Homo-oligomer: A and B are copies of this chain.
Amino acid sequence: MPGNTFGRLFRITTWGESHGPALGAVIDGCPPGVPLTAEDIQHDLERRRPGKALTSPRREPDRVEILSGVFQGVTTGTPISLVVTNRDVRSGDYDELAAVYRPGHADRTYEQKYGIRDWRGGGRSSARETVARVAAGAVARKFLGRHDISVKAYTLALGGVRCKHFDWVEIDRNALFCPDAEIAQAMAARLREVREAGDSIGGIVEICARGCPAGLGEPVFDKLDARLAAALMSIGAVKGVEIGEGFNAAAMLGSENNDPVTLEGYGANHAGGVLGGLSTGMEIIVRVAVKPIPSISKPQLTVTTEGQPVTIQIKGRHDVSAIPRIVPVCEAMVLLVLADFWLHPHPKVTLSS
């Protein structure tokens, strides 16, 4: 099946190219009665925008419009169509890329699959595609908020610079969504360094969901962790996903990794809030590995669409790291997974809008 739809009961379909007229999302299955305004969505879109020139020199004054599904300020249960017009479209920047495949990008794989590609800024494979995810995620956030479920993502590492302390309120105080104020400054310094070198850098983002009742998820293939993994791995720059202890668990003993069961919950959360593919009621903890952005100014070996080996240096405006812009995208994907499972029939979970 074509891959631009995500979710089953809270379902989104996204569309749009980096340099086309607009991008958007249709949200189908959002329950009726949820108060929703363009400002609710705008707030999340702003968090995705390049902050303080740390990582991106671009300005994208994204404005979202709600074209359906909301009447007198609340959702009606019909599909919600969101559109964001592309305003900052200087496709001329990309003209010279029409005839060459950028390393690390999907330029050649798209052409191999489709026989054609919109080469302006990566077209559909551009990170700009995530605007629609964030907009849709904002609707999921409004819905889940009514059930006291919240999702927060933050930067654990940028390149080799890793957080040492964790301060929940610090996350929104710095442009990198980093929970460690001191490390946030070191990360910013690292970013400048990498930019000056004409290179790019990756990092690690952690996502924490709070307030989920036990029992969300659907065994055996649509386990909560399986769906979270798909949701997060579908973000362009993500190369790894882990739940709870994740890869650490590979070297642990059962007696270390098992969480004691208590009356109120669990005596630890090595599991990351998921057992047997179902939420346990504890915090859901997921981490993703973000690769360095493939667009760099340094010379790279590649070939032209005509088959000539060439050296390219990518010009134009490009980010140095997918962090921090990817942080609200990760939040959005987790929100969408949870909203979807919330709507699945749960004999033991009280369903209401």
Interface, chain A (partner B; CB < 8 A): 1-6, 8-9, 11, 13-17, 20-24, 26, 28-29, 31-33, 65, 67-69, 71, 74, 76-81, 83, 101, 103-106, 108-110, 112-118, 123-125, 129, 157, 159-160, 194, 197, 199-204, 214-215, 217-223, 225-234, 236, 239-263, 267, 271-272, 275-281, 289-296, 298, 300-303, 307, 309, 343-349, 351-353
Contacts and interface: CB of A to CB of B under 8 A. Distances in A.
Contact of A254 (B32, B293, B349, B353): B293
* Central interface residue in A31, A78, A203, A204, by most chain B CB within 10 Å: A78
Contacts of A234: 220-223, 225-226, 277
Nearest to A82: B15
Given A261-B302, A351-B351, 14 more contacts: A3-B223, A16-B79, A33-B347, A68-B124, A71-B123, A76-B118, A104-B271, A109-B278, A194-B253, A222-B234, A223-B234, A240-B249, A241-B241, A257-B291
Contact of A200 (B3, B253, B292): B253
A146 to B, nearest CB: 12
Contacts of A4: 26, 28, 78-79, 219-221
Given A1-B11, A353-B347, A118 B78 contact: yes
A116 B69 CA distance: 11
* Central interface residue in A219, A277, A280, by most chain B CB within 10 Å: A219
A201 B300 contact: no
Contacts of A114: 32-33, 76-77, 215, 347-348
Given A112-B278, A247-B240, A298 B347 contact: no
* Central interface residue in A1, A115, A248, A250, by most chain B CB within 10 Å: A250
Contacts of A223: 3, 233-234
A269 to B, nearest CB: 12
B124 A76 contact: yes
A116 B74 CA distance: 9
A109 B279 contact: yes
Contact of A106 (B28, B32, B76, B278): B278
15 contacts: A2-B218, A13-B28, A33-B347, A76-B123, A77-B116, A108-B275, A113-B348, A115-B353, A129-B220, A222-B234, A223-B233, A240-B241, A242-B242, A249-B289, A351-B351
